[in-house]
């Protein structure tokens, strides 16, 4: 990348806000913006299962670019899945439509940890080729790499798939802390290696998803999870890219998630942004947090709620507009396009 192109990328609204500086407009991107809400995505995915698509370089590039072209968002999120690095090192799992990740042999003993080896670049060569190609294609638009956080990855491995109560996960956590920390230590290394490889291939920022951390009390999060999430975020600290940390239902542990080493804290829709900043401190940089279901309301309601969130974000040192979770599959893509236009038209508020 030329010096001029690098400067344009660095001065993008998204990266400017991630640094806590004042951008020329409120940046916006959406979790799951590259996915089932787009007809062009459904078309290109016909006949290809989810995990296979994540390893096909040209498909990954095209799917990642689709929402940037359509919505004019301020950042691209790399099309992948949190279990991709586990699949890449040989864990027997699949993403079952309508269910989610399903693991053939759930973790029940220390002996099973041997399969969780370090991730090497050759394991994800086609993935990294997509990152490099996207960096060229996107130009001044930043690319966000991502990985699943240790707790969420471990939960899938222990439960064998998605769980409503995470009973087996917490049972292992409480009954065998030694095995638990050994498992999360391996998850942290793999997630950190995956993030690092993406940044080295060209990603401009990373997001660590802890989808299920909201099932934990603050005390349990601090004892059993935070050190491992901190290890992931620390593993890319020297690369100088913004590190976003996001979880669902994590209002009670926002401060602890930030203390794990996040530069930007993603906030779901349950906590108003100004309240999130109060919990995090005035120097916080936040991302969020429109309820995804709001997108099914009339346009004037969607935009009124967006305006409220932008105003609340003024309490923070920096704010990136996003949803409070991912785009729902039934969302009308035109609603997202109109929302991006609306957010871009709003003046960047002075800090409150």
Confidence band for 90, pLDDT divided at 50, 70 and 90? very high
317 noted as active-site residue = no
What average pLDDT does the segment 254-273 reach? 97
Give SS3 for 286.
strand
List 19, 45, 279, 305, catalytic entry:
45
Task: Report pLDDT for 352.
Answer: 78
List 52, 81, 220, 291, catalytic entry:
81
Task: Report pLDDT for 195.
Answer: 98
% of the chain residues with pLDDT over 70 = 99
Task: Report pLDDT for 45.
Answer: 95
Task: Report pLDDT for 8.
Answer: 86
Q: Are the C-beta atoms of residues 351 and 317 closer than 8 Å to each other? A: yes
pTM above 0.85, yes or no: yes
Tens of pLDDT, residue by residue over 279-337, are 999 999 999 999 999 999 999 999 999 999 999 999 999 999 999 999 999 999 999 99
List 8, 19, 36, 168, catalytic entry:
36
Task: Report pLDDT for 98.
Answer: 86
Task: Report pLDDT for 300.
Answer: 98
List 74, 94, 123, 156, catalytic entry:
156
**Radius of gyration of the chain from its Cα atoms, rounded to whole angstroms:** 19
Task: Tell me how crowded residue 107 is: count the other CB atoms within 10 A of its CB.
Answer: 23
Q: Does the structure show a pLDDT above 90 at 158?
A: yes
Among 351, 207, 213, which Cα is nearest to 274's? 351
Q: Does the structure show a pLDDT above 70 at 4?
A: no
351 noted as active-site residue = no
Mean pLDDT for the chain?
96
Question: d(Cα 244, Cα 81) in Å, to the nearest integer?
Answer: 16
> What is the CA 58 to chain-centroid distance, rounded?
22
Q: Please classify residue 115 by burial: count the beta carbons closer than 10 Å to its beta carbon, then call 0-12 exposed, 13-18 middle and 19+ buried.
A: middle
Query: What is the DSSP secondary structure assignment for residue 213, as one 8-state letter?
Result: G
Tens of pLDDT, residue by residue over 161-216, are 999 999 999 999 999 999 999 999 999 999 999 999 999 999 999 999 999 999 99
Task: Report pLDDT for 1.
Answer: 66
Which domains, from first to last, does the chain contain?
3-258 (3.20.20.210)
117 noted as active-site residue = no
What average pLDDT does the segment 141-165 reach? 96
Question: d(Cα 230, Cα 63) in Å, to the nearest integer?
Answer: 30
Confidence band for 9, pLDDT divided at 50, 70 and 90? confident
């Amino acid at each position: 990348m030329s010096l001029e192109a690098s400067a344009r990328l660095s001065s993008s609204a998204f990266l400017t806000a991630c640094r806590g500086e004042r951008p020329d407009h409120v940046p916006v991107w959406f979790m799951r913006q590259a996915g089932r809400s787009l007809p062009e995505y459904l078309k290109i995915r016909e006949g290809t299962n989810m995990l296979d698509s994540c390893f096909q370089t040209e498909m990954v590039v095209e799917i990642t670019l689709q929402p940037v072209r359509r919505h004019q968002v301020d950042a691209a999120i790399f099309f992948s899945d949190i279990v991709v690095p586990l699949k890449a090192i040989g864990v027997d799992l699949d993403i079952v439509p309508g269910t989610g990740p399903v693991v053939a042999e759930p973790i029940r003993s220390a002996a099973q940890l041997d399969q969780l080896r370090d991730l090497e670049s050759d394991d994800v060569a086609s993935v990294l080729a997509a990152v490099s190609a996207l960096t060229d294609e996107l130009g001044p638009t930043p690319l966000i790499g991502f990985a699943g956080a240790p707790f969420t990855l471990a939960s899938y491995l222990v439960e064998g798939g998605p769980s409503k109560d995470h009973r087996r996960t917490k049972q292992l956590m409480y009954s065998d802390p030694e095995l638990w920390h050994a498992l999360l230590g391996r998850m942290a290394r793999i997630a950190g290696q995956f993030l690092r490889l993406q940044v080295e291939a060209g990603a401009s920022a990373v997001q660590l998803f802890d989808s299920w951390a909201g099932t934990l009390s603050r005390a349990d999060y601090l004892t059993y999870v935070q050190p491992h999430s901190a290890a992931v975020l620390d593993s890319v600290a020297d690369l100088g890219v913004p590190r976003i940390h996001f979880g669902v239902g994590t209002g009670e542990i926002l401060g602890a998630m930030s203390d794990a080493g996040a530069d930007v804290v993603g906030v779901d829709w349950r906590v108003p942004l100004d309240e999130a900043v109060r919990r995090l401190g005035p120097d916080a940089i936040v991302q969020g947090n429109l309820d995804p279901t709001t997108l099914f309301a009339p346009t004037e309601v969607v935009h009124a709620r967006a305006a409220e969130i932008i105003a609340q974000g003024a309490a923070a040192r920096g704010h990136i507009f996003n949803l409070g979770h991912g785009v729902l599959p039934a969302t009308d893509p035109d609603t997202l396009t109109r929302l991006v236009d609306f957010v871009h038209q709003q003046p960047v508020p002075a800090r409150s």
